[in-house]
A and B are shown apart, each in its own frame.
Chain A
Amino acid sequence: MLRTGVDRRVAFTLLAVLAASLASGGCVVRLAAEYDEHVDRGATALQQEMDSHLTRLEVLGADVNGHFDLHEPFYLDYAVKLRSLRLRAQAYRRNELTLQQLDLMLDSLEELNRQHAERGTLSPAFIASSRDLFNQAWGAVIAWEVAKKRGAR
């Protein structure tokens, strides 16, 4: 008897992949992409860069050196690196969750960029909260990438 929804789900998936495995001669099923060290390292580097950027802005406060005009290159460079990381992740099959996560990171970056551009400088409270949120989001991206190692989780 199949006791739970999980049992039924696994049984159904098992039958489907058994047929696929028989057809292809394969023996290990993959429902998500493989771990990619480049994505792992890239995401870690981008987390550090954003933390560093926001910490610098926090220290500068309303000082003229915290003005958007002096930091615009950071946003452009960061967006290029983020899109490059997305391109790397796109090379793998079954990597849709990571791609969605990176799209969300791009959207958050655009939001931060827009706010900084419109206001010139950002308030300390805004900077601290956005840093926490970026760190948490990158932490989730990295946790998912590391989980793809299988067996290591």
Chain B
Amino acid sequence: MDLEISELSRRLIETARTSLGRDWRAARRLARPELARLAQVLVEIGEMAARGEITKEEAQSLLRIHRNTTVTVLLTVRGLGILAVESAVNEGLSVVRDAVNGRFGITLL
């Protein structure tokens, strides 16, 4: 079971990393443990259904809530990537501010 979780977790993280591309670097510290938890819950849902602890309908319902939670986590990851770009842009603007303002003799930036 541990191996299943670890493999599922690895695939989930790899898929997120690939699809998020440049945004991944800014958010990986949050994304990795969150996606690992989601992988664990996914395996647990399958096991509970197999043991008869939840009905098929309950399993399907949990899978829908699980999907919604996964997307919610990925939206946060995406947001952290956007903030990383925003921060870089503002640092860039800060660097060129003096040069631009000096060149035109007025405060443009």
Contacts and interface: CB of A to CB of B under 8 A. Distances in A.
Contacts, number: 154
Nearest to B30: A143
Contacts of A141: 72, 76
9 contacts: A13-B89, A17-B89, A112-B61, A112-B65, A115-B58, A119-B58, A125-B48, A130-B62, A143-B76
Interface string B9-42: 0000000000001100100001000100110010
A119 B87 CA distance: 49
B5 interface: no
Interface residues of B, number: 46
A36 to B, nearest CB: 14
A28 to B, nearest CB: 6
Contacts of B38: 136
Where chain B touches its partner, the secondary structure class is: helix
Nearest to A5: B22
A140 B73 CA distance: 5
Contact of B93 (A17, A134, A153): A17
A89 B45 CA distance: 33
Interface of B: 21-22, 25, 30, 34, 37-38, 41, 44-45, 48, 53-55, 57-58, 61-62, 64-66, 68-69, 71-73, 75-76, 78-80, 82-83, 85-90, 92-93, 96-97, 100, 108-109
Contact of A153 (B37, B58, B62, B83): B83
Interface of A: 5-6, 9-11, 13-14, 17-18, 21-22, 25, 27-32, 97, 100-101, 104-105, 107-108, 111-112, 114-115, 118-119, 122-126, 129-130, 132-134, 136-137, 139-141, 143-144, 147-148, 150, 153
